[in-house]
Structure 1
Amino acid sequence: MVRPYTITRGRTAPERDDFTLITVLTTREEPLDERGVPLRPGRLQPEHRAILARCRRPSAVAEVAAGLDLPVSVTKILLADLVGQGLLTARAPLTVARAAGGADRSTLAAVRDGLRRL
């Protein structure tokens, strides 16, 4: 068993604090730096490689943590490392209404009225 502080090299908080449990992460096909130059990632820990493999399909922070069997706080530190290196992209999840092009007000009113009748 490896202690979490060993995996994070003693860090207790991620460099960025905008990850929520439902933040969606995706491995970048060709990671680029700020200037658009392809990145050659340094030596990655096994946990970093496992995250990159899992995030080939969009995955939420909670899913990644569960798949690694690590605490969410440790997972967020590892994810921040990979986002900082340009190997992962992170975005807020799309809401159903936004994905569908916006909710119709009449549909929302009908749902509200139906819930009130319950």
Structure 2
Amino acid sequence: MVRPYTITRGRTAPERDDFTLITLLTTAQDPRDAYGAPVRPGRLQPEHRAILARCRRSAAVAEVAADIDLPVSVTKILLADLVSQGLLLARAPLSVARAAGGPDLVLLAAVREGLRRL
């Protein structure tokens, strides 16, 4: 078993502070740096490779942490490494209401009534 301290190289917080449990992550198809040059990944740890493999399909931070069996705090540090290298894309999730054009008032009323019956 490798200790989280070793995996994160002694870091206790990610460089980015904007990851939440529901931040969506996707592996970059054609990673480029800030100047438009192709990114060549450096030497990646096994955990970094596992994250990239998992994020071929969009996944939330919590899902990635569960899949690679690491604490969320450690996972966020590794995710920040990959985002800063341009290998992983992170975005806030779209709200269901906004994606559907607004809240469904009929559905909300039905949920409210169901909760009242409990």
TM-score (normalised: structure 2): 0.89
Match of 2:64 in 1: 64
Alpha-carbon offset, residue 73 of structure 1: 0.3
Counterpart Cα distance in 2 of 1:15 and 1:75: 12
Counterpart Cα distance in 1 of 2:60 and 2:67: 11
| Residue of structure 2 aligned with 1:111, choices 108, 113, 116 | 108
Counterpart Cα distance in 2 of 1:98 and 1:10: 40
Counterpart Cα distance in 2 of 1:25 and 1:116: 35
Q: Aligned residue pairs: how many?
A: 115
- Alignment of structure 1 residues 21-36 onto 2, 5 Å: 21-36=21-36
Q: Over residues 40-96 of structure 1, what are the superposed CA-to-partner deviations in whole Å (9 max), with x where a residue is unaligned?
A: 010100000000000000000000000011000000000000000000010111111
Counterpart Cα distance in 2 of 1:89 and 1:99: 20
Counterpart Cα distance in 1 of 2:55 and 2:111: 39
Structure 1 vs Structure 2 CA RMSD: 1.8
Match of 2:102 in 1: 102
What SS does structure 2 have at the residue aligned with 1:38?
Answer: coil
Structure 1 pair 114/71, CA: closer, same or farther in 2 (3 Å)? closer
Which letter maps to 2:13? Answer: A
- Unaligned runs of 5+ residues in structure 1 are none
Counterpart Cα distance in 1 of 2:40 and 2:107: 53
What SS does structure 1 have at the residue aligned with 2:64?
Answer: helix
What SS does structure 1 have at the residue aligned with 2:97?
Answer: helix
Structure 1 pair 110/63, CA: closer, same or farther in 2 (3 Å)? closer
- Unaligned runs of 5+ residues in structure 2 are none
Match of 1:20 in 2: 20
Seq. identity, %: 76
